[in-house]
């Protein structure tokens, strides 16, 4: 797969005002403190990379190890060292678009990363012959410390055993991931506040879903409160709840059949414009990594 040239951004912090302000400029060549990239997003596979100078975390493993290696190399990571560099693999839930590559990663001798997921999620995964030795489970809602990255897990409404989203904080930068959720409860909104970068689901256009190819039972599941977030619910969230401090919004987990990036872009832009927000908008793809967002 040929990946497009990467756009690299730097977010500069100005501390003169009461509130931190981030301004984008071209990559200057300095080492970034915190990097985030959505390697894949959608019902065929999900993975994201969060890295500081000292710590490297993979969120979800819904790509084969080979494809993961290709995508990591395409964003400038050394393919020989990247798997060794991983400190942790965090799993949101057991659906195969989030864990299909995990059993192979867990058995690989190249990988020393500890695998983290909730107590209830671990037994729901088909590990093959043996469960991995480097598995650590946590209670949904618990906080973890991985190197210099603080991780806060939070329960999301989705039809998996014990699904969670994650909010990360490193070097004063907050990044949150909330995909695979039927709606956005207040408890989730709480965890999405004060994020510098938010990866939020925009799964389907309701009209496209209703007339689309899915069987009625699947349509009902997707639309339910434990299904996936529609463009409408996403844009309502942007209009009413998105924190003005969020300088980068990434919309992801778009349905290939029941959505289109142009619709997502239009609805999100309208919602952001309606609030007078200058939040940067990016739409994550199933097929190619996002830009590498650097803070
Ligand atoms: Zn998913
Ligand atoms: Zn799911």
Q: How far apart are CA 71 and CA 91, in angstroms?
A: 19
Q: Which two tokens stand for residue 260?
A: 């289109």
CA of 62 to the centre of ligand 2 (A): 11
The pTM for the full model equals 0.90
Q: What is the DSSP letter of 121?
A: T
Q: Tell me how far the alpha carbon of residue 21 lies from the centroid of ligand 1, in angstroms.
A: 33
* Residue 289, H or E segment: none
Residues 6+ apart with CB under 8 A from 211: none
The strand pairing partners of 138, in sequence order, are 118
Rounded to the nearest integer, the mean pLDDT of the chain is 90
pLDDT for position 24 = 40
Distance 14 CA to ligand 1 centre (A): 36
**Which ligand has the shortest distance to the CA of 201?**
1
Tokens, residue 185: 């409860």
Do residues 97 and 44 touch, judged by C-beta distance below 8 A? yes
Residue, of 227 and 5, whose pLDDT is higher: 227
How far is residue 267's CA from residue 254's CA, in Å, rounded to a whole number? 13
Distance of alpha carbon 46 from its chain centroid, rounded? 8
pLDDT digits (tens, 9 = 90+) for 66-121: 999 999 999 999 877 889 999 999 999 999 999 999 999 999 999 999 999 999 99
pLDDT-derived band at 132, boundaries 50, 70, 90: confident
How many whole angstroms from 180 Cα to the centroid of ligand 1?
5
Is 12-294 in CATH node 1.10.1050.10? no
CA of 33 to the centre of ligand 1 (A): 29
User: Is residue 23 very low, low, confident or very high in pLDDT (cuts 50, 70, 90)?
Assistant: very low
What pLDDT, on the 0 to 100 scale, is given for residue 257? 95
> Please, what's the b/e burial string for 60-72 (b: 16 or more CB within 10 A of its CB; e: otherwise)?
bbbbebebbbbbb
**DSSP-derived secondary structure letter, 8:** E
Q: Would you kindly state where each structural domain of the chain is located, as residue ranges? A: 12-294
Residue 28 C-alpha to ligand 1 middle, in angstroms?
35
- In angstroms, what is the span from residue 215 Cα to ligand 1's centroid? 18
């Amino acid at each position: 797969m040929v990946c497009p040239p990467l756009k690299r951004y730097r977010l500069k912090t100005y501390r003169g005002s009461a509130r931190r302000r981030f301004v984008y400029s071209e990559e200057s060549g300095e080492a970034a403190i915190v990097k985030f990239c959505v390697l894949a997003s959608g019902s065929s596979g999900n993975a994201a990379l969060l890295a500081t100078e000292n710590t490297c975390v993979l969120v979800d493993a819904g790509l084969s190890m080979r494809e993961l290696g290709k995508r990591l190399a395409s964003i400038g990571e050394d393919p020989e060292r990247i798997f060794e560099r991983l400190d942790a693999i965090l799993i949101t839930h057991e659906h195969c678009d989030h864990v299909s590559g995990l059993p192979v990663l867990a058995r690989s001798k190249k990988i020393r990363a500890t695998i983290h997921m909730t107590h209830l999620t671990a037994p729901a995964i088909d590990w093959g012959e043996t469960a991995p030795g480097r598995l650590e489970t946590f209670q949904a809602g618990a906080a973890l410390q991985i190197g210099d990255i603080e991780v806060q897990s939070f329960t999301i409404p989705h039809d998996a055993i014990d699904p969670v989203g994650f909010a990360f904080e490193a070097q004063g930068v907050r990044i949150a991931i909330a995909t695979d959720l039927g709606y956005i409860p207040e408890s989730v909104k709480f965890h999405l506040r004060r994020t510098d970068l938010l990866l939020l689901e925009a799964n389907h256009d309701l009209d496209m879903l209703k007339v689309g190819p899915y069987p009625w039972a699947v349509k009902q599941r997707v639309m339910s409160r434990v299904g996936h977030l529609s463009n409408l619910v996403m844009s309502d969230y942007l209009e009413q709840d998105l924190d003005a401090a969020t300088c980068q919004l990434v919309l992801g987990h778009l349905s290939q059949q029941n959505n289109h990036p142009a619709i997502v872009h239009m609805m999100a832009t309208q919602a952001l414009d309606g609030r007078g927000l200058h939040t940067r908008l990016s739409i994550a793809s199933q097929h190619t990594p996002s830009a590498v967002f650097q803070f």
